[in-house]
Structure 1
Amino acid sequence: MDVGVPTTLIYETHSTTLDNENGIATGWLPGELSEEGRRHAVDLGDRRRGAVDIVFSSDLHRAMKTVELAALGVPHLVDWRLRECNYGELNGTPAAGLAPRDRWIDQPYPGGQSYREVLELTRSWLDDVKRWYGERRLLVVAHSANRWALQHLLTDVPLEELVDAPFDWRPGWVYEI
């Protein structure tokens, strides 16, 4: 492997769900894409087709369905370590009830996980990717907590600055690793 050739990692959030539209924190529940979300998944495919070698996603339904509808024509590997934070007793409740999220960085949600635990799972996944999939263009379709973890791991932005920042959707975040 030529050490000078970077791995390109493109992160995209799963498409919009019915829960997203209704202000619900889905957490580890499957989640169902809305009609708008289905359109966004097709748009993701149009945007990334031919630009990636492999896709990784969470094993939660909403992420896998996003990849399926994107129809990128490359291998799709599913990894449970890319799941959203488990909000435990708060899975499926109004998202406003999770705020402020910075209190859950080190303390787990009741019956769930902390964001630091999600970060460590994402770190484990990233270490495996670096080892086994270097010099490739990777697309990751996952959740907010994984985006924060990747941004922290790859750009050193503190989690405290990420978890309560307003969500500003854009067509992917690109990192070279």
Structure 2
Amino acid sequence: MAVDIVYETHSLTTDNEAGRATGWLPGELSESGRGFARELGRRRPVDDFAVIFCSDLARAVETVETAYGGWPAVARRDHRLRECDYGELTGMPVDELARQRRARIDAPFPGGESYRQVVDRTAEFLRDLAEGWDGRRVLLVSHSANRWALDHLLHGRTLADLVDAPFGWQEGWSYRLPDDWRR
């Protein structure tokens, strides 16, 4: 069998609106972001999923809580679904971050991590997902770097192509995780 994954990024934050790279800071949804999160709950009914996993960063948790009314019994926070840690450059303008992405595929941000490290922790999460949720449909709410990791790991796209492309928001992405993934 397999795990069917529906992936959504956290909703719009005040940092997104200000053009700042939040990294591992908690972040908070903007008023528009809270509206988009409520729309997520209508667009993706909770009954469609066996479980919801989200990053443990506040903006992802707030997205899930706003979308699903705090559905705490089933929503699971996982630190492996965190955004890339920009270290000393956390809070930098997003335009500056975009210019550095390719150089940070394997070389960590100063005091932070590389995109390859995000891929590694996302892969670890996927191994656990394959073992525990075979044959089920799950929702993941996380960050752009984790979506790149999923595209790299499950669709074979290169990290260089992913980090060079502009972020194209859409109403979710779908992935299929084979039950024997990376055993």
TM-score normalized by the length of structure 2: 0.92
Q: CA deviation at 1:105?
A: 0.2
Distance 1:94 1:139 in 2: 30
Q: CA deviation at 1:53?
A: 1.6
Aligned to 2:29: 33
Determine helix, strand or coil for the equivalent of 1:24.
Answer: coil
Does 2:58 match 1:61? Answer: yes
For each residue in 1:119-170, what CA deviation from the matched residue of structure 2 results, as whole angstroms up to 9, or x when unmatched? 0000000000001111111000000100000110000000000012011111
Distance 1:127 1:86 in 2: 22
RMSD: 1.1
Aligned to 1:106: 106
13-22 or 44-53, which moves further after superposition? 44-53
Aligned to 2:78: 79
Distance 2:122 2:61 in 1: 17
Aligned to 1:11: 7
Residue pair 1:58, 1:141 contacting (<8 A) in 2 also: yes
Percentage identity across paired residues of the two chains: 53
Determine helix, strand or coil for the equivalent of 1:28.
Answer: coil
AA at the equivalent of 2:115: Y
Runs of 5+ consecutive residues of structure 1 not aligned to the other structure: none
Aligned to 1:133: 133
Distance 1:112 1:28 in 2: 9
Q: 2:43 aligns with which of 42, 47, 50?
A: 47
Distance 1:91 1:136 in 2: 36
Aligned to 2:180: none
Structure 1 stretches of 4+ with a deviation exceeding 3 A read none
Please give the residue correspondences for 1:137-148 in structure 2 after superposition, counting only pairs within 5 Å.
Answer: 137-148=137-148
Residue pair 1:59, 1:83 contacting (<8 A) in 2 also: yes
